[in-house]
Structure 1
Amino acid sequence: MFNKFLRENKISAVILTVLRLYLGYSWITAGIGKLTSGGFDASGFIKGAIANPVKGPDGAVVFSWYVDFLKHFALPNVDVFNVVVPVGETLIGLGLILGCLTTAAAFFGLVMNFTFFLAGTVSHNPRDIFLGFIILTAGYNAGRIGLDRWVVPFFRKLRNKNADVEKSKATI
């Protein structure tokens, strides 16, 4: 019942637009802030996450696989992350604010939030994860009052056209 409300109701579309704009503003300001600050560097954050991993009540490292990922992949490739993080945050914010490819923006926002969360940063991540899941669950309705009103039907039409071409090739 709640899913149906989120996915189909016009009142829900208005509420989702407000949530989307709020979350999008949070993402875009974080991204633009990093892009315009004169050189974002994730190495300090990554080194801190490696040095202070998330530990359980027994003192054991909870996400040792993530610490290994940071140590052996993220830190050696920090130059890539220095670009991907601020550009990604900006694009997620832009997608949510414009309501363009909203579910993709919400999905990648959740991925980024979980990576920050796994590194031990709490901050506003729980709120962002909660709102992101609501937007992702709502699907198309979250971007109905936005560019998705035109973008999603265009991609559906394109997909159906490609499927028809593949079917005609298969019958030949």
Structure 2
Amino acid sequence: MTQTTAGTTDANVFESRLGGVTVRGQAHSLSAWFVLALRLMMGYAFLSSGVDKVLSGSFSAGGYLANVASTNGNPLEGMFAWMANTPWFLDFVNVAVPWGETLIGLALLLGVVTRFAAFWGAFMMLLFYFGNWSVGHGYVNGDFAYMLTFLAVAAFGAGRILGVDAWLEEAEFVRRNGWLRYLLG
């Protein structure tokens, strides 16, 4: 919340300084609904995708990791080949992807540990972005847009909007351990 020049408080004003540059904006009164919609949309998308993989019981990232990067000029082709050919890492990915998607989706739908969940969702989308590398139509694709959506959910504290995080941030334990607010919101 910032003070306006007229001396009134304006909750819809936001401002950030990065690298000596200050940006300032004013959100529309409906912005909270759109931030909530982004959180719920990404939560549903990830929960649905994760639950499908968990319930199938046969998810394997091996074929994807071994083949996708070598066919599309991917700058991280060597990293994807290493992932596909390292048994312990592939075992980890085969559990982390379906359960990660499920837990990220559930956390976003409930609005609990939202920033933490959105960070990992953005990280997964970054890996999918490079895995699905295609710049024939530019560097921005659906995976990149989803990554930015996760980052927006985190930046706007979407878990505070009709989410469990709003309640958790009022808890005495969180108040005494302020660093926890970086996971919530």
Give the % identical residues: 30
Gaps of 5+ in 2: 1-12, 16-24, 135-140, 179-185
- Are the aligned partners of 2:39 and 2:108 in contact in 1 as well (CA < 8 Å)? yes
Deviations 1:91-139 (A, max 9, x none): 110111000011111110000001111112567413311311211221x
Name which structure has the greater RCO, CA cutoff 8 Å, separation 6+.
1
Partners of 2:116 and 2:26 in 1: how far apart? 20
Q: Counterparts in 2 of 1:132-151, with a 5 A limit? A: 132-138=150-156, 140=157, 142-144=158-160, 145-151=162-168
Q: Which residue matches 1:103? A: 115
1:76 deviates by 4.8
Q: Which has the higher helix share?
A: 1
After TM superposition, the structure 1 = structure 2 runs for residues 18-33 of structure 1, keeping only pairs within 5 Å, are: 18-33=37-52
Conserved? CA contact 1:13–1:143, under 8 Å: no
Contact (CA 8 Å) 1:113, 1:128: kept in 2 or not? yes
Deviations 1:27-72 (A, max 9, x none): 00000000011211111111113532x42xxxxx522553354255
Structure showing the higher strand proportion among its residues: 2
Unaligned runs of 5+ in 1: 56-60, 161-172
| RMSD (CA atoms) | 2.6
Deviates more, 1:149-158 or 1:33-42: 149-158
SS in 2 for 1:100: coil
Structure 1-normalised TM-score?
Answer: 0.73
